[in-house]
Structure 1
């Protein structure tokens, strides 16, 4: 986690460090539907999106 984020949250960035990770709904959809490229979900291509 960037030191500025830790500082804004009230933590001393010289003393603490962190990692941020997660499995968003887009990544789950990629696994479920076999989508190869995450950007496909955000291009607003009706032909692709109408499949879901």
Structure 2
């Protein structure tokens, strides 16, 4: 509901879905990473696998 409010829609009047397929999600599928948060922890040992 907050996403709809942020763009000026009344969440009582409309519904919506949000989908995203960023590079992190693609890497998760390709390399079998279970938790997207790992990409944002700035662990260079983990991130260097994807360079």
TM-score band, normalised by shorter chain: 0.5 to 0.7
| More contact order relative to length (CA 8 Å, sep ≥ 6) | 1
Larger radius of gyration: 1
* TM-score, length of structure 1 as denominator length: 0.65
Gaps of 5+ in 1: none
What's the Cα RMSD here? Answer: 2.0
Q: Which runs of 4+ in 1 moved over 6 A?
A: none
Gaps of 5+ in 2: none
Question: Which structure has more helix as a fraction of its residues?
Answer: 2
